[in-house]
Amino acid sequence: MPTVVIAGAGLVGALNACFFAKKGWNVQIYEFRRDIRTMKHVQGRSINLALSQRGKSALEAVGLKDYIVDQGVAIRQPYGQPGEHIVSINRRHLNEVMITQAEKCENVKFFFEHKVKSVDYENKKLIVQNISQPSRIPTFGQKQTHQDHQEFEIEADLIIACDGAYSAVRRSLMTLPRFNFSQEYIEHGYVELNILAKNDEFALEENVFHLWPRGHFTLIALANKDKTFTVTIFAPFDEFEKHMATPQDVLQFFQENFPDAYELLGEQHISETFKRVKPQPLVSVKCSPHAFFDNLVLMGDAAHAMVPFYGQGMNCGFEDCLVFSEILDKIGDIGESIREYSRVRVKDAHTINDLAMYNYEELKDLVNHSSYKLRKKFDLF
């Protein structure tokens, strides 16, 4: 059976591992972090995520859809197709379930605390550094010349880069001729907070998406299975610096702008969160192609990080796995499959990326602009 090496065991890397485990391939996954299943706190992006039909279809193909959907909270949309709804799910739980599912196959090996450094594209190898203590030696017969913290090379029939928005693999491809790349940081950042259950019940209606639009800043809330809500404030970095710099300022800001949410979040929680966490940036990345040589492909945020206002970053990454799996099953040859994948996928990824940016404008300006003006601005007529 062929060997696939996956960079990154985040959401898209872990799902890809499930797909290739099912195909019976030898699968090696190299992940920078420790195994999240053994960690008390996992630092990273949003606590919960909206799983849509796109993501559900991919999970269904590896037999995980029903289990995952059952672990989430249904969010009803009056404009959705009958029977379809998005589901609010816990990021960490989802990631853990997929790692465990992939690991059930003995041909799958996760190497945590292994940092992918770059691609040696002349020799079609991945350069990896073992950053764990003590060393855990990879198997499957590649050259095992490495010692602790030394770099080593890995060859594979297929390499899939799922190492996120700041992908090391993508970075090392930047000097290739005809590789197109663009990135944009939007002026907004975000901070996540938490509303606890009230008398063991949800403090707000659970099956809806809560939105407090305030012109150039916005608060949203999504329910969790444990009856808490993850609340996210999106605001320009300027706004964070001017009006949320001190504990007093931040409390006043919430009290004035979101009086009902302020009561539910509580003074202490708001102050402690803002002391502990800095606003996080949001980046949008586009590149093309997504396939290189005859054995390397970028997927998920490594290929198309997008702003989160369309709730499709992970969903689109999950769809990448499904689309590629189907193409590979149909074509068979790896080189031809990755080229066909890139041909069909780049256009779709760019489109979802643009829609996410459009929704960013729509959400922040919901109060101030008519939809007509926004559609004009984005030339959508």
* Closer Cβ to ligand FAD, 13 or 72, answer by number: 13
Q: Residue 221 CB, nearest distance to ligand FAD (Å)?
A: 12
- 3-state secondary structure (DSSP) of residue 100: helix
3-state secondary structure of 344: helix
Residue whose Cβ sits closest to ligand FAD: 10
Q: What distance in Å separates the CA atoms of residue 18 and residue 269, rounded to the nearest whole number?
A: 38
Q: How far is the CB of 360 from ligand FAD (least distance, A)?
A: 12
**189 pairs with which residues across the strands?**
235, 281
CB of 334 to ligand FAD, least distance (A): 21
Question: Closer to ligand FAD at the Cβ: 46 or 255?
Answer: 46
SS3 content of the chain, % helix, strand, coil (to 5): 40, 25, 35
Instruction: For residue 92, give both structure tokens.
Output: 């960490």
Question: Least distance to ligand FAD from the beta carbon of 220, Å?
Answer: 9
- Residues linked to residue 154 through DSSP beta bridges, in sequence order: 126
Q: How far is the CB of 199 from ligand FAD (least distance, A)?
A: 28
Residues in the chain: 381
Q: Which of 52, 92, 94 is nearest to 71 (CA)?
A: 94
- 240 to 46, 66, 90, 187: CA distances (angstroms): 18, 40, 26, 11
DSSP string, 315-342: HHHHHHHHHHHHHHHHH--HHHHHHHHH
Half-sphere exposure of 315 (CA within 13 A, CB side): 24
CB of 114 to ligand FAD, least distance (A): 6
Q: Whole-number minimum distance, CB 30 to ligand FAD, in Å?
A: 5
Q: Which positions lie near ligand FAD, rule CB under 6 A?
A: 7-13, 30-33, 45-46, 49-50, 115-116, 162-164, 168, 190, 300-302, 308, 311-315, 317
Residue (31 or 103) nearer to ligand FAD, CB: 31
Based on CB atoms, which residue is closest to ligand FAD, 164 or 289?
Answer: 164
d(CA 37, CA 54): 26
**Residue 127 in contact with residue 120, Cβ under 8 Å?**
yes
Pick 120 or 267: Cβ nearer ligand FAD: 120
Q: How far apart are CA 184 and CA 269, in angstroms?
A: 32
Q: Write down the least CB distance from residue 214 to ligand FAD, Å.
A: 18
CA dihedral over 92, 60, 229, 299, signed as positive or negative: positive
Q: Return the number of the residue (93 or 369) whose C-beta is nearest ligand FAD.
A: 93
